[in-house]
Structure 1
Amino acid sequence: MRSLQDALYNWLSIQVVADSRPDDLAAAETAQLFQDILKEEHDVVVKEIMRDEVMYTIHFLKKGAEQQYQFPVDLIDVMIDQMKEEPEKFKNYNEKTDQD
């Protein structure tokens, strides 16, 4: 991942999906992948995510120093909103799903 901002954006976008679909193994694995990228490539540990009507705010530690980034709700919630509007297009892949 090139920038911390991109890594945080990608992680938060899929984390929102994983949080809203706790039985979706693919979403959870992808969120974990991006969380690993944050830790390994950027030395970042996310401490808290806050959401209001307009923004998501991510509070995190980078090399021990507290920092934060903000992203517009509309930008982050695009995928989960689309999944809610058209659930038939977004099959939930969990460990119990027959994938033959």
Structure 2
Amino acid sequence: MVIVVRHRPDDGAAKQTLDFFAQILHEDHMLTSVADQVNENTYTVTYEREGQINQAEFDIILCEQLWHDIESNPKYNE
């Protein structure tokens, strides 16, 4: 959802969904910080949990698929 909100900053539903997911990460999974970095082929997500900093990498094409799907649907672009 971070990607969708970055590309669609006026999309209120996307922002609400992002806020909801952020709340789940914080309350249910005890993450105290989450940051992402875009590389050539991946998104690297850095997060802190219980004082430990961890990273995970995700394929950029898969990460951006939701945004592309939304953009290609005229229903969401009126």
The answer, yes or no, to whether TM exceeds 0.5 is yes
Question: Equivalent pairs: percent with the same residue?
Answer: 27
Q: TM-score, normalised by structure 1?
A: 0.69
* Cα distance, 1:79 vs structure 2: 1.3
- Conserved 8 A contact 1:46-1:58: no
Q: Who is 1:11 aligned against?
A: none
Answering whether residue 76 of structure 2 is matched by residue 90 of structure 1, we say yes
Q: What are structure 2's unaligned runs of at least 5 residues?
A: none
* Cα distance, 1:75 vs structure 2: 0.8
Between the two proteins, the alignment pairs up a number of residues equal to 78
- CA deviations on 1:44-88 (whole Å, 9 max, x unpaired) are 13342111121100111111211111111111100112233x252
The two structures, once aligned, show a CA RMSD in angstroms of: 1.6
- CA deviations on 1:3-23 (whole Å, 9 max, x unpaired) are xxxxxxxxxxx1110111111
Greater relative contact order (CA < 8 Å, ≥ 6 in sequence)? 1
Answering whether residue 30 of structure 2 is matched by residue 43 of structure 1, we say yes
Q: Who is 2:53 aligned against?
A: 66
